[in-house]
Structure 1
Amino acid sequence: MLNKQDFFDALEAARKPRHGGGHPFSRMWAQGALSREQLGRYAVQHYYYIAPIPQQFAALYARLPDLDARQHLLENLLGEEMPDTPEKRHPDLLINFAEACGLTRDDVVNADLRDEILPTTRAMRAWIWELSTIRHLAESAAGIMVALEGQLPTLYPAYVKAMRKMGFSEEDMEFFHVHIEGDEEHAHIGLELTDRYATTEALQERSIAAVRASASLRWSMLDGIQAALVVPKAA
């Protein structure tokens, strides 16, 4: 088995080749090359991906055997749902961003009913359900917390910088701010939990593979969004 630090290094290395910040769509966003309409349509896809995260985290919470792990995930879950200030739920903050881009709440919430959700977005959401419900806990922690939450503190600042130049207010961008502030800690705890539950060499290998899979699926989701929103359609 890898020692703890080497395992951490391997998990983080598995994320790097498909880190969302390197995707052409992300680079265009960071360069200010996307319109408000394109960003709003991105938000439609991202909303479909993240809308069930509270339920997914609840399913994972029920599987965790350790009190401290459950307490952390409960904090994460409450951060998503915001029971004291429900208007600050993360999915609702994303709707606020979409509205700042010129879309309506209906455009976002009911996109699935209009068959506007891309197959790659559906695959991303389905993978999180798989990690939350049936994969080994080491894979769950690695695939969700290390691979995905671990990207956002280094991904979203470039988005925010570009959007400020476009005239978005800090309130418009609150969805991005809360993830910059919170997900660095989530990723660190994800490493610790992955190490705790990956008790064999085989589980370490499966955890590393889960990071690669999550990063690749997220990259594919961005591929789909770029193809739909940026690449001109043939006449």
Structure 2
Amino acid sequence: MLEKSAFRAKLEETLHHHISKKHPLFPILMNGEKPDIELLRKVAIEGYQITKYFLDYIEHLFFYCPKDLPRHKRRLLFNLFEEETGRLSKSANHVELMERFLKALGVSDAERDAATPLPTTSALIDYRLAAVKDPARYHIGAAAVMIASEGQNLESTAIEARHSILGKVYGLAEKDLLFFSVHAKEDIAHVQQGLDMVADLCVDQQMQEEALFAVDHTSNLFYQMYEGMYQAFCINRPLVAC
């Protein structure tokens, strides 16, 4: 079993090993010379499929949080409050922010609500839901959601945030991109909180190994989700090796 600080560092290393936003789908979306609004709409609708479940994840993590970890339960409560209301960021409910983004792209409510997730997107949704709903796998759900999922949007190596580039390429206003700008700030803190939480939760070697696998596996599921979008929406484009 790793010492707590070493385990925390290993969790963070595992997260940064393969952030899925490196998928070649993103350079296509952000190509200022050939903006593809139809592709962006399809990807955004698919992204909405995972966004609308995130509150469920946090609700279950809050509900099942062990009573002997009150610091983490309070942090989850703040996270839950922000997801539901947007009050802390002075914005709005986070699903509503994503819906505003879709509207800015010209996606109707009917088109949005009629969409169903691709199989690779469903795999990501289902894995996290199953984990957070099972108290025996609480540490796995926490690792999958609070570290791997919150960590997918970290922009530590980017000169300019991706949502800012998208705004310029597709002529979107700052208000249209609030979902992304809010998360770009919040997710940094949420990942650190997740690392603290999972480091405290895992009290034996098996739990540590399961949590590390959850971070790695969830990150892979994110990558496969984007690969699923690539195959569904960009099949005639050359795939760049990752």
Both structures adopt the same fold (TM-score exceeding 0.5): yes
The aligned counterpart of 1:78 is: 81
Paired amino acid for 1:225: M
Cα RMSD between the aligned structures?
2.3
Q: Distance in 1 between matches of 2:91 and 2:71?
A: 28
Matched, 1:47 2:51: no
The aligned counterpart of 2:61 is: 60
Aligned residues: 229
Relative to structure 1, the CA distance from residue 34 to residue 138 in structure 2 (aligned partners, 3 Å threshold; closer, same or farther) is farther
Q: Distance in 2 between matches of 1:102 and 1:29?
A: 16
Relative to structure 1, the CA distance from residue 43 to residue 11 in structure 2 (aligned partners, 3 Å threshold; closer, same or farther) is same
- Deviations 1:162-186 (Å, cap 9, x if unpaired)? 2132211101111101100101110
Paired amino acid for 2:121: T
Deviation at 1:52, TM superposition (A): 2.2
Q: Distance in 1 between matches of 2:114 and 2:141?
A: 29
Matched, 1:101 2:105: yes
Q: Distance in 1 between matches of 2:190 and 2:91?
A: 22
> Which structure 1 residue ranges, 5 or more long, are not aligned?
none
The aligned counterpart of 1:150 is: 151
SS in 2 for 1:2: coil
> Which structure 2 residue ranges, 5 or more long, are not aligned?
238-242
Relative to structure 1, the CA distance from residue 202 to residue 28 in structure 2 (aligned partners, 3 Å threshold; closer, same or farther) is same
Q: In the alignment, is the contact (CA less than 8 A) between 1:38 and 1:229 conserved in 2?
A: yes
Deviation at 1:202, TM superposition (A): 1.1
Report % sequence identity.
26
Deviation at 1:120, TM superposition (A): 0.7
Q: Distance in 2 between matches of 1:193 and 1:87?
A: 26
Paired amino acid for 1:185: A
Paired amino acid for 1:158: A
Matched, 1:3 2:3: yes
The aligned counterpart of 1:26 is: 26
Matched, 1:200 2:204: yes
TM-score, normalised with respect to structure 2: 0.86
TM-score, normalised with respect to structure 1: 0.88
Matched, 1:129 2:129: yes
Q: Distance in 2 between matches of 1:174 and 1:217?
A: 25
